[in-house]
Amino acid sequence: MAENCIRKLTVEVCDAKNLMPKDGQGTASAYAIVDFDGQRRRTKTIFRDLNPQWNEKLDFFVHDADSMAAETMELNVYNDKKTGKRSTFLGKVKISGSTFVKSGEDVPLVYYPLEKRSVFSQIKGEIGLKVWYVDEQPPPAPAPEKNDAPPPSAPTEEKPAEKEDKKKPESKEEAKKEEEKKPATEEANKKEEKPPENAPPQTPPPPTPPPPTEVQHPPIAQQKSTQNPEKSLISENSKHMEIESKLFQKINSGKADRRTTAFDLVDPMPFLYVRVAKAKISNPDADSSFFAKLVIGTHTIRTKSQAANREWDQVFAFDKDGLNSTSLEVSIWAKKKPKDKDAAAADEISAGTVSFDLQEVPKRVPPDSPLAPQWYSLEGEGSPGNDVMLSVWVGTQADEAFQEAWQSDSGGLIPETRAKVYLSPKLWYLRLTVIQTQDLQLGSGSAGSEPKVRVPELYVKAQLGAQLFKTSRTNIGFTNPTWNEDLIFVAAEPFEPFLTITVEDVTNGHSVGHAKVQVATVDKRTDDKSEPRSRWFNLIGDQETKPYAGRIHVRVCLEGGYHVLDEAAHVTSDVRPTANQLSKPPIGLLEVGIRGATNLLPVKTKDGTRGTTDAYVVAKYGPKWVRTRTILDRFNPRWNEQYTWDVYDPCTVLTIGIFDNARYNKSEAGPAKDKDVRLGKLRVRLSTLDTNRVYVGTYALTVLLPGGAKKMGEIEIALRFSCSSWISLIQAYANPTLPRMHYVKPLGPAQQDILRHNAMRIVTTRLARSEPALGQEVVQFMLDSDMHMWSMRRSKANWFRVVGCLSKAAQFARWLDGIRTWAHPPTTVLVHILLMAIILCPHLILPTVFMYAFLIIALRFRFRQRVSITMDPRLSHVDTVGPDELDEEFDGFPTTRSVDQIRVRYDRLRALAGRAQTLLGDLAAQGERLEALFNWKDPRATGIFVVVCLFASLLFYVVPFKAFVLGSGFYYLRHPRFRGDMPSVPMNFFRRLPPQSDRIL
């Protein structure tokens, strides 16, 4: 947007539905108040209507267009106090500024559900809004002749006072009387009481966007002359406190300038910066080119070659801790071009040198302005009048010149080693509903009687990119076939150009015809209330013999109400719907400081003599991927880079992986060396982090290799999850995990699995096509794309997880059995007393249980487990699997192993599946026995149960329930000497009930 444009935001409040009645008479008189960027607008009141329609447009001026995406528009709906005692709250909506669309596009009508103001609010209904913005040209400035400003000789200190006094109403006589009592201000009042003759009436000015220079502080001398010193100090301190509180709120809400806090979680790394601008050569040779050479100890680097008196404007950043010299030499060299092609290499002649002592280099810390280059005279033979313009300073990685500079620790200006931020493509679900076909031309061009005799069996095939789905088959006879089936694809922006629909005949394997749908023309919808339009497409067969093969009736739409899962559901990092207008404002800010790594193991050889590691870190949260710069040839690299993400749901997971870069050195890269080696991975669930607290720690990196688990080193990271609104964070736990469409029109588990793998492939392909590319193996490792593959190790891990969850119930059962068998007689006696207390005071059962739970859980807070960020090798069972089981996990699909090896694995899998099959059969048998008791599968057993139920009803009618519970408890807790060794009668009766096991083939 141009700098001289004014941005105006328009909010059209259309209508509301199903509001909560609040006036005591079953209705509500609703009006809406919209707040944005310090401005407030109000709609009219619609009296006694639970479905009001306003259709009002409210305009707002955007003060800062660049920060509009970080702003939040809030709309509150109230019941008018004219119909009740006070204005009662009917709901609110918060919309992030990043979802606003520009005027000229198709502005959709979106219905937002009304949210509660607190946990105890009773709110329902939704409100329909249209929000867009437009950039307008400001009105032209008035001519200087018509300007009523004071002459230049007037003091500038009086301008703010005049502006403030013009805004005050003149009808307050009491204020004038008080001002007359102050003799110190009489002369100032006389000057201010003389407004110009053509001054406008005292009405509030229109809401024009104030320029940034309009907010000024009054002069100090004017404050001292109009107030007491103590009062001025108090007011000044209160203003400072107010400004500090506002800045604190902005920092917590993520609206402040993040550059001021961009490196507070990492350590500052000193770098020596050298900016070489240009050189001035007194007598340049026409056939020579010039370059600058920088020498610091063993570091030698040269700029690009340029003609004489041309600019280089290159920045070099040297890691100060890795320097082995205390002086810097910058020299200019002339390189003569050889006259003959067969001549030797060109000679390099020095044009002079300038030296710097590193102890005297100035330091610069942002937000200081960049250091201006200066001219330095070159010293040496043959350098009279030769100068070089450059600047040298010591800064940190927070310097704005760091990203564009040649970096000594990452190999210079290699694109594959630079820090980058990637964004996953925006994913949509494309729903194709195949309804029916008409006028199909089924002639195949063969024998004339064959098409009439056979019965065609048709299906519809649709293809979008590499995704291919088919409908079921149908025998049509002589009627028009009808399917009414949905085919769902994953579409990524920018979309594929066409969706191809093909009708095929199974009987002869030929295509009846095909049609192409332009994806760019497909309708988008955000909910299930609007049905997309259906369309007819002509089927095209063979262009020569059959240009028209019939037509097909379909319904196509892009679903924006779903969240397209591109990672495993248990480690998802984003649950927002695809449509931006349905996304709620962020509730917090996640800051990650990637500090460094220690004790990394060598993963490759350099020059064929020694091992080395070129490590970099990838962090993924939501659609944003970040990659640090690659630190070359170090086993203890220090990155000290910090990144931020907006958090929309606390129950999400951050994934951090570390890799060895094998792509930057293209001379050594080959078929086996063009893949980055994984060194480990960490995951952090944000719900386990305390808000506004910094976590700094070193975590082990463990990777599973074909030879077993191996520790590759440690990584040091810093985390901070900031949240400004505790209520918003708590309310997030009451919201459903996924968007509404996942519950209104759910997708099947098998369908979700297929769509997730398609989304993973799309994200992998798109990021691999970036420049520089984020490798396919890196994306797959971060997304866990092989989680669906069979693994004996994962099966063991999941089995022992189930056993661990059931161990608490087994422990309670053992404790109860110990009480029942009088293993500890005092405890059993206390249980008898507790049983009697429960019978005598049954109303205290639930309060006692919840109070006991409160005390136990509250006392366990002291012994809570700290945040466990590192991956757990023991929980993953990496040490309990054999070599063959690991080889099976790393084997591809389909397998590439020998037949004998596959037979051994298959037998082992059959044995494991047989045990699981037996367990599932036993669980099913218990449920079938209980069901048979009520279905008369065994007439005698069910008859006995019916008689027992009759006598039990009579018994419970006579015997009080308290006496029955007390007697049952005492019988259950009886001493072992009164017990028998055989199972009880009810257990024997239940085990004799017939299951369905005997009916299975």
The fraction of the chain above a pLDDT of 90, given in percent, is 29
Same fold for the domain at 426-443+456-559 and the one at 580-742+773-783? yes
pLDDT over 60 (residue 827)? yes
The mean per-residue pLDDT over the stretch 294-313 comes to 86
pLDDT over 50 (residue 78)? yes
The fraction of the chain above a pLDDT of 70, given in percent, is 79
The mean per-residue pLDDT over the stretch 684-702 comes to 89
**Binning pLDDT at 50, 70 and 90, where does residue 83 land?**
low
pLDDT of residue 983: 78
The mean per-residue pLDDT over the stretch 790-804 comes to 76
* Residue (of 725, 704, 739, 629) closest to 881 by Cα position: 704
**Binning pLDDT at 50, 70 and 90, where does residue 256 land?**
very low
* Residue (of 718, 732, 646) closest to 687 by Cα position: 732
Q: What is the DSSP string of 83-125?
A: GSSS-EEEEEEEEEGGG-EEBTB----EEEEPBPSSTT-----
Contact between residue 622 and residue 574 where contact means Cβ atoms under 8 Å apart: yes
Q: How far apart are the first and last CA of the chain?
A: 74
**Binning pLDDT at 50, 70 and 90, where does residue 247 land?**
very low
pLDDT over 60 (residue 144)? no
Contact between residue 629 and residue 639 where contact means Cβ atoms under 8 Å apart: yes
643-674 pLDDT tens trace? 999 999 998 999 999 999 988 876 554 444 67
Element at 657 (helix H, strand E): strand 653-660
**Binning pLDDT at 50, 70 and 90, where does residue 223 land?**
very low
pLDDT of residue 735: 87
pLDDT of residue 12: 92
717-734 pLDDT tens trace? 999 999 988 888 888 888
843-863 pLDDT tens trace? 777 787 778 878 887 887 787
Token pair 């990394």: residue = 600
Q: How many helices (H) and strands (E) does the chain have?
A: 19, 39
Q: Would you identify the CATH topology of the domain 270-338+345-408?
A: Immunoglobulin-like (2.60.40)
pTM: 0.70
The mean per-residue pLDDT over the stretch 680-686 comes to 90
**Binning pLDDT at 50, 70 and 90, where does residue 786 land?**
confident
Tokens of 873: 């090798």
Contact between residue 663 and residue 627 where contact means Cβ atoms under 8 Å apart: no
Contact between residue 352 and residue 380 where contact means Cβ atoms under 8 Å apart: yes
pLDDT of residue 274: 93
d(CA 49, CA 28): 6
159-203 pLDDT tens trace? 333 433 433 334 444 444 444 444 444 444 444 444 443 343 443
* Residue (of 327, 332, 399) closest to 366 by Cα position: 399
**Binning pLDDT at 50, 70 and 90, where does residue 974 land?**
confident
pLDDT of residue 217: 33
* Residue (of 636, 637, 634, 653) closest to 645 by Cα position: 653
45-71 pLDDT tens trace? 998 889 999 999 999 988 888 888 888
Tokens of 648: 């929309």
pLDDT of residue 11: 92
pLDDT of residue 866: 67
501-546 pLDDT tens trace? 999 988 887 888 999 999 999 999 988 888 888 999 999 987 666 7
pLDDT of residue 21: 87
pLDDT over 70 (residue 228)? no
pLDDT of residue 84: 61
Please, which residues bridge with residue 115 across strands?
92
Please, which residues bridge with residue 76 across strands?
33, 92
* Residue (of 428, 431, 524, 529) closest to 111 by Cα position: 529
Number of other CB atoms surrounding residue 819 within 10 Å: 19
The pairing of beta strand 427-438 with beta strand 110-113: unpaired
What is the domain partition of the chain in residue ranges?
6-136, 270-338+345-408, 426-443+456-559, 580-742+773-783, 792-999
Tokens of 150: 């004071």
449-506 pLDDT tens trace? 344 456 778 999 999 999 999 999 887 665 688 999 999 999 999 999 999 999 998 8
| Helix, strand or coil, per DSSP, at residue 315 | strand
pLDDT of residue 765: 93
| Helix, strand or coil, per DSSP, at residue 936 | coil
Mean pLDDT of the chain: 79
pLDDT over 80 (residue 251)? no
* Residue (of 663, 671, 566) closest to 621 by Cα position: 566
pLDDT over 90 (residue 624)? yes
pLDDT of residue 229: 41
pLDDT of residue 432: 95
**More confidently predicted of 256 and 313:** 313
Query: Counting beta carbons within 10 angstroms of the beta carbon of residue 358, is it exposed (0 to 12), middle (13 to 18) or buried (19 or more)?
Result: middle
308-361 pLDDT tens trace? 778 888 999 999 888 888 899 999 888 877 665 554 556 788 888 999 988 889
pLDDT of residue 837: 83
d(CA 268, CA 270): 6
d(CA 694, CA 710): 29
d(CA 422, CA 778): 13
Residue 199 has phi, psi (to 5 degrees) of -70, 145
CATH code of domain 6-136: 2.60.40.150
* Residue (of 843, 994, 888) closest to 932 by Cα position: 994
Q: What is the DSSP string of 156-177?
A: TTHHHHHHHHHTS-S--HHHHH
470-492: burial string, b at 16+ Cβ within 10 Å, e else: ebeebebeeeebebebebbbbbb
Please, which residues bridge with residue 714 across strands?
598, 700
Rg (CA), the chain: 39
The number of residues making up the chain comes to 1001
| Helix, strand or coil, per DSSP, at residue 241 | helix
What DSSP state is assigned to residue 914? H
* Residue (of 295, 314, 308) closest to 385 by Cα position: 308
Q: Would you identify the CATH topology of the domain 426-443+456-559?
A: Immunoglobulin-like (2.60.40)
CATH code of domain 580-742+773-783: 2.60.40.150
pLDDT of residue 382: 63
List all residues 6 or more positions away from 126 whose beta carbon is below 8 Å from its beta carbon: 16, 17, 18, 111, 112, 113, 114
Alpha carbon distances (Å) from 864 to 284, 849, 857, 861, 979: 75, 22, 10, 5, 42
Alpha carbon distances (Å) from 840 to 820, 828, 969, 971: 22, 19, 14, 18
pLDDT of residue 720: 93
pLDDT of residue 802: 78
Q: What is the dihedral of CA 544, 549, 552, 557, to 10 degrees?
A: -10
pLDDT of residue 209: 42
**Binning pLDDT at 50, 70 and 90, where does residue 898 land?**
confident
Token pair 């309990």: residue = 880
Query: Lowest mean pLDDT: which of 392-406, 680-694, 852-866?
Result: 852-866
